[in-house]
Chain A
């Protein structure tokens, strides 16, 4: 199984990056997880020609080619970081690779809540019709106190958290298989092209 892991932070040091690196290595026997950074993407700005900048196109191509996507989000001010939001806006405004793509949400935070509010927002955002990601329901993986959660060699040091993550990931593997099976005959071309209300804003409501 080929998966993409999106690091939802543009910070130099990010425990969400560490979390994905851990997953990449820990689940290497079950899936090939390719980590993608958003930190070098430009800020979203509604380009008139609706073409994706190179970095966004590369990310989009990787998502298209993957069986599923894992997003690891920090929490800034009860929501996802602007940098992650910007990346999502690019995808929804240009290529829409997340339509029907199975998505797993994880997150790490320095405090005790483990990015819970950001994850709830991210679910609602990815559920918008212009994104239409197939988010794995119910399971959530929240890693609190993330600054002390990883050993020097990148291992997650709490065995109960490792077990929880293993259970979530096993479920996601099933979810990816089932979702892709279920949706394999759906034609999404039309949706990739459809105009959504917020983008019409930029054109003064004109198509």
Chain B
């Protein structure tokens, strides 16, 4: 029998150590007792996880391998020592080696008590759910007046004491044997067959089929045809694989997709139940061969890129095109960052192409308004471009005065619209607009980016020109396949096919900074191992900080308030890591106070397409009292600020006909959401008000007035002047909404070559940045469709600069 003896104190001299040594030698023929000291165990701190330190790993490995554990505890202040408690806290935090492990408690003290109170505390502690040790009952071995107990050779003097210890120890050997039987995994037998279950996806339940043979989980198939591609596919691939590999339901959930992960696990559990077995037994099984080896890793490459979203993968593809070797490091299990979530096409002015499409109502008016702007109101650096644009516009408007005109565009219009769209003033009166040289690069090279992507393998649908949500002109190039994912799929295929390396689950913690020179990155791998990557250049492409509320609040100068529990449409990975990395080597920041909100987001998830999301002419927005509070046709910023002023949460009221105009939903999903309590439905307005805890009279009055305004075509209260449907046909619906973070405009200060600049405006050698991690381009407001243009343009520039400056 192999046992571990733990000395329960970090004191230099300890009778408890002496007692264990005596047991080790006295029982040598019965058991091999290895004594471990806890002197080097750090103080437990839940905020500073050191589970992966060699000392905790040693305890974990040795205890796991042992048949049982003997703990010798002193008594300090009627309890166990803090040093022993600290060890037990580590061993019940992220690893649980004592779970089910047979434990014998002994103790020695100078007083007559022999650590009696400490032993009782220790029993209670070992019984806590996180520890869950199998402590041998009874057989209390308390060695009082210990200073008299041992002779000079370290042997116990008293024959009676020796005999009692022998009795206790022999009981423990039997106890350990029997106890360990309980740790043998429970036999599981299934009724063979294929079982149909479901698992929750982002857009409703997904059908899943689980095939079980008598002894094994054979196959797990999930029909993901209804799912947003990209976001969850890593879950649908990895979780079933781990379940089958380990024949276990003890599987780690995937960060950023815990609901979907649990959904798959629970679905399989349900099938197991249907097959007549107890899924709990499968949950108790060990995880699938988790590689415990956490050897540090060391790599050398040409360019290391932080973040595997659109910008990072673009930089990697460009690096490969130039014949150099990139490594992309991504902290999440899945690649794609925010880009897979992008719903819209990318902007690029392509006048020759756009010319084929007829202009639509209102576009000429928009152009007239721009042409009529007073040049004095245009910032001086943009003024020459504006004047040239005005000539273009005047020529177009004259030429197309009264005939069927075509869709106009030019690089200059794109540039000026990006500039005008981004111009904002914050609460402190600071004006911000896009930095001219960066906006010029963006707009000059946008079309080149579209063509470059087409060469990489992104197929664009040229038959249609679209206006992305939040854009102000129709110049969107739309991929033929499902939008955001199409870019990521093509880029990652290209990178992998050409020998580029993408390391997921690898979180960059710092830049290697040798005497002021950046030389690579240091990251933490999936198993806690240290990953060092030496490189000639580092590209930061880790996105903004939309999922980091603390950082948003810290920098915010634009919104009157950002709620602590604000949600985001971003990937949870977008936490400003690259901005912090840049700052660690002195990078300057720009425009950090400005963030973009999606006013009509799900209050619980930040999703856009839950509930009834209808066109704005059918929006009826009411606050928590049931009153309208804004012109529903207002800009995103206006709606967001109005919502913040009204306590954040508000409702979209709809009737049965308005319901029919909702995007991305179905009756099935609507019924599900009503059942789940995330969407409200009632046959009367008064009933709906009661569900929402509003005064029914107030909501009824609001609806009556709104319907009257809709008939009149004008709303004297808030000035809404575009109406479609009234609220009159039962059943009535209320969709709860709240502003959620969508994009952060600020970030690292860069120049036109994508160099990161320090506070003195100087280039930080070999450090580049691209995408949302950088600031200066979108200023106070990013046009819809411009972030994609940004990442594909500056992603290429960053790689290009890195290669030409650092590798040639």
Contact = CB atoms under 8 A, between A and B. Distances in A.
Interface of A: 10-13, 39, 43-46, 76-83, 85-86, 88-89, 92, 117, 121, 124-128, 130-131, 152, 197-198, 200-205
Given A201-B15, A201-B74, A76 B82 contact: no
Interface string B71-114: 00011111111110110110010000000000000000111000
B45 interface: yes
Interface string B101-145: 000000001110000010001001101101100000000000000
A46 B47 contact: no
B79 A10 contact: no
Interface in B45-68: 45-47
Q: Give the dominant DSSP class at A's interface.
A: loop
B766 to A, nearest CB: 34
Contact of A201 (B42, B77, B80, B110): B110
B79 A86 contact: no
Contacts of B121: 79, 121, 124
Contact of A81 (B44, B74, B128, B131): B44
B13 A204 contact: yes
A204 B79 CA distance: 20
B10 interface: yes
B77 A125 contact: yes
A121 B125 CA distance: 10
Contact of B124 (A46, A78, A128, A204): A78
25 contacts: A11-B45, A11-B46, A43-B42, A45-B10, A76-B85, A77-B130, A79-B125, A82-B85, A83-B44, A85-B81, A88-B82, A89-B76, A121-B121, A125-B79, A197-B109, A198-B74, A198-B77, A198-B109, A198-B110, A201-B109, A201-B110, A202-B12, A204-B13, A204-B147, A205-B15
Contacts of B46: 11
A56 to B, nearest CB: 13
A124 B82 CA distance: 15
B82 A83 contact: yes
Q: Which 6 A-B residue pairings sit nearest by Cβ, starting from the closest?
A: A205-B147, A82-B86, A86-B82, A85-B82, A77-B128, A12-B47
A5 to B, nearest CB: 20
Given A82-B86, A89-B82, A198 B76 contact: yes
Nearest to A41: B43
Nearest to A39: B45
Given A43-B42, A82-B89, A200-B110, A77 B131 contact: yes
A43 B42 CA distance: 8
Interface residues of B, number: 42
Given A77-B92, A202-B12, A121 B43 contact: no
A198 B147 CA distance: 12
Interface in B408-432: none
B13 A201 contact: yes
Contacts of B78: 124-125, 127-128
Nearest to B118: A198
A77 B79 CA distance: 14
Contacts of A121: 79, 121, 124
B675 interface: no
A127 to B, nearest CB: 7
B728 to A, nearest CB: 40
Contacts of B83: 43-45, 82, 86
A63 B555 CA distance: 39
Nearest to A75: B128
A83 B45 contact: yes
Contact of A83 (B9, B43, B75, B125): B43
A128 B77 contact: yes
Nearest to B78: A128
Contacts of A12: 47
Nearest to B77: A128
Contacts of B89: 76-77, 81-82
Contact of B77 (A10, A43, A130): A130
B11 interface: yes
Which of B15, B78, B82 is the most central at the interface, judged by chain A CB atoms within 10 Å of its CB?
B82
Given A77-B88, A152-B564, A198-B109, A13 B47 contact: yes
B82 A82 contact: yes
A92 to B, nearest CB: 5
Contacts of B86: 43, 82-83, 86
B321 interface: no
A50 to B, nearest CB: 13
Given A124-B117, A201-B109, A82 B125 contact: no
B77 A131 contact: yes
Given A43-B83, A76-B89, A197 B44 contact: no
A204 B108 CA distance: 12
B82 A44 contact: yes
B43 A43 contact: yes
Contacts of A45: 10-11, 83
Contacts of B128: 77-79
Contacts of A127: 78
Contacts of A197: 109-111
B148 to A, nearest CB: 8
Contacts of B117: 124
